[in-house]
Amino acid sequence: MSTSSPHVTVLLEEAVTALSVHPDGIYVDGTFGRGGHSRRILQQLGPQGRLIALDRDPQAIAAAASIDDPRFTIVHTAFAELADVLAQQGIAQVDGILLDLGVSSPQLDEAERGFSFRFDAPLDMRMDNSRGLTAADWLNSAAEADIARVVRDYGEERFAKQVASAIVAARGQEPIVTTRQLAAIVAKAVRTREPGQDPATRTFQAVRIYLNRELEELSLVLPAAIACLKPGGRLAVISFHSLEDRMVKQTLRDAATVDRLPSRVPVRAADMPQAPVTLIGKAIKPSAEEIRQNPRSRSAVLRVAERTGGERA
């Protein structure tokens, strides 16, 4: 069963513009999805340019088969493996890296993927549905305290304890195997919710982030991406919720900050250490028109940094 709609790439022009694509450069699209950003990058590359794309979703890998271009390479892996992928391709450093985080529209709209409570479907939620535990596997076996921690930390759900207790009680009666089952259980446990938001929203987000190790993967790829950039190379990251954006913002800010020397140390300005990156502009958000055409873009935030010649001591 599938109810997918055409995928709309968020912040397409802004993200590719932020990369400042050089015709002969080497670029990485760490989250191919359905290829919107990749196709636009390829349009700006010359004959000697190169694009390496990564994705852990087998359906995204299948979609990439439609790009018949010798400059393009697709690799089925999580973006945390970025450094290894480049090494296997014989590439030391690249001119730009783009990361479009979170879940894609096709993943949300294809009921059988189990990401959305809008459909009654198997409770899966794996971005790479060829391996690993499903959401049903985990929810039917995890300790109540672990479920509460995940829902609290990854979903920022204030009723996390109540949600975990309700899940454990419900699975004692019958296994939780569908999205509608989980949504109904959570709805009874969450007493109040922001207007317009389904009570299950935060719990579904939390379980998805936990199962796919999204924040762990992000914490690994950000420093790796900075290290893999040439001086002058750009890193552009699109986030969709506060946990992601907080990590991106802090990591880039830290990398753009020069380590302080002890006071009164006689050092010339020219000899001061240089931070690994410099931040490019302010955070970019979708225009009102983009939000009107694609409401899912509403929470998107694009942050950009450029590699310097500096290194951490």
- Residue 68: burial class (beta carbons within 10 Å; 0-12, 13-18, 19+): exposed
Residues paired with residue 194 on neighbouring β-strands, in sequence order: none
79 assigned to a ligand binding site: yes
Which phi and psi (to 5°) does residue 310 adopt?
-80, 155
Closest CA relative to residue 261, chosen from 252, 253, 269, 251: 269
22 assigned to a ligand binding site: no
37 assigned to a ligand binding site: yes
- Contact, 201 vs 116, CB < 8 A? no
Cα 37 to Cα 18, 30, 220, 300, distances in angstroms? 12, 10, 22, 15
32 assigned to a ligand binding site: no
Q: Edge to edge, what strands does the sheet with 72-76 contain?
A: 72-76, 50-55, 26-29, 94-100, 229-239, 301-307, 277-279
33 assigned to a ligand binding site: no
Instruction: Return left, alpha or beta for 225; rule: phi > 0 is left, psi -120 to 50 is alpha, else beta.
Output: alpha
Residues 27 and 50: their CA atoms lie apart, in Å, by 6
Closest CA relative to residue 233, chosen from 99, 100, 94, 98: 94
35 assigned to a ligand binding site: yes
107 assigned to a ligand binding site: yes
**Feature table: binding site for S-adenosyl-L-methionine:** 35-37, 55, 79, 100, 107
Binding-site residue ranges: 35-37, 55, 79, 100, 107
